[in-house]
Structure 1
Amino acid sequence: MEHLKYPIGKIDLPKEITSELINQWVKIIEEFPVKLDKLTSNLTTEQLDTPYRDGGWTVRQVVHHCADSHHNSYTRFKWALTEDAPIIKAYYEDRWAELFDTKNAPIELSIAYLKALHNKWVYLLKGLKDNDLSTYFIHPEGNKKVTLKENIGIYAWHCNHHYAHIENLAIRKNWL
């Protein structure tokens, strides 16, 4: 069950985050929407409404969750760059996943949004300087300080994590 929940493992950021690593992470974020679109574009309604694991979200919910989560992350970057150590607003992703739009809307809405959002986000990320990457926000859960360079790694992992949920399901069900 743990492998189905965390198909690429839990996030484990290195203590030293190099510019090479940041560039690799930004590339993952940049490529994610197109990869996700290719992976999901031929899925049927029934397949989109299949949970990736028992008790997990459907493929449709995962796609919409990515759009919601990445939207929130982009906003957190902007806050950290324009405010002094802002305390960010956490959100209940499990409740968002149960909303009507997340459970029923065509995934094309979130795919198109992810493409636009990631283009804008990556443009921002590629323009950040070293001192920008060290700015941070405070996550209210545990009052944890998260630097922008750490958050780039978190969201590269997030892209790969949810991509693997869908890809592994598609492989198990022989959809590919």
Structure 2
Amino acid sequence: MDESLKYPIGRPQLPSAPLSAAERAALIQQIAEVPAQLTAAAKVVGGVGLEQPYRPGGWNGRQVIHHVADSHMNAYVRFRLALTEDKPTIKPYEESAWAELPDVAATPIPVSLTLLEALHSRFVTLMHHLTDEQWQRTFYHPGNQRTATLEQTLALYAWHGKHHLAHLLLLLPKE
């Protein structure tokens, strides 16, 4: 498979050392922009285009948008768990199975875009109020058997939004 279609912006690069406040602010801003960027891309790609897969064997645009909402809801909950519990073990989920659930096909795309807008409003507000110490809090992900800091999770989800925006842009008509 063409790696550039699966990872059009490359694979995520997670920080191994603490980030500066300015670096965190830039990543938070990237997350804040995701709902508007996805909404704009969805409008340009259009209804029929969003029913097409972005690569052979890949999700269609509808699934991508609903997935981002699902994934970022999980990220928000993971942040809140890490902030309120000592090194919690989070619950992984089967992303591919979630993308096949009947609500993905039956729910209009604007519902997930509106959900993302509201969710990111809360998520960004939370992140803007974290202390340096809180950014170093962790959770354990049993699926990949790794402990992640909230800073690493911030970087991952900043990448995640851009990653799936790039998938939607692959659906634009070729000139």
Q: Which is further off, 17-26 or 83-92?
A: 17-26
Q: Which runs of 5+ in 2 are unaligned?
A: none
Note if 1:144 corresponds to 2:175.
no
- 1:111 maps to a residue whose letter is L
Task: Identify the match of residue 43 of structure 2 among 37, 41, 44.
Answer: 41
CA drift at 1:64:
0.1
- Give the alignment's TM-score, normalised by structure 1: 0.94
Cα distance in structure 2, aligned partners of 1:142 and 1:109: 30
- 1:174 maps to a residue whose letter is K
Cα distance in structure 1, aligned partners of 2:81 and 2:47: 37
RCO higher in structure (CA 8 A, sep ≥6): 2
CA drift at 1:42:
4.5
**Match of 1:123?**
125
Task: Identify the match of residue 69 of structure 1 among 36, 46, 71.
Answer: 71
Superposed CA deviations along residues 26-69 of structure 1, whole A, max 9, x for unmatched, are 00000110111111124433211000000000000000000000
Count of aligned positions: 173
Cα distance in structure 2, aligned partners of 1:99 and 1:110: 14
Q: Which runs of 5+ in 1 are unaligned?
A: none
- 1:154 maps to a residue whose letter is L
Query: Could you say what the CA RMSD is over the residues aligned between the two structures, in angstroms?
Result: 1.3
**Match of 1:110?**
112
Superposed CA deviations along residues 95-151 of structure 1, whole A, max 9, x for unmatched, are 000011113321100000000000000000000000100001000124311100110
**Match of 1:174?**
174
Q: Which is further off, 54-63 or 44-53?
A: 44-53
- 1:151 maps to a residue whose letter is T
- Give the alignment's TM-score, normalised by structure 2: 0.94
Cα distance in structure 2, aligned partners of 1:42 and 1:143: 39
For 1:46-61, what aligned pairs fall within 5 Å after superposition? Answer: 46-61=48-63
Percent of pairs with identical residues: 42
- Alignment partner of 2:40: what SS? helix
- Alignment partner of 1:45: what SS? coil
Cα distance in structure 2, aligned partners of 1:141 and 1:105: 28
**Match of 1:7?**
8
Q: Which is further off, 98-107 or 116-125?
A: 98-107
Cα distance in structure 1, aligned partners of 2:109 and 2:44: 11
CA contact (8 A) 2:136 2:149 kept: yes
**Match of 1:97?**
99
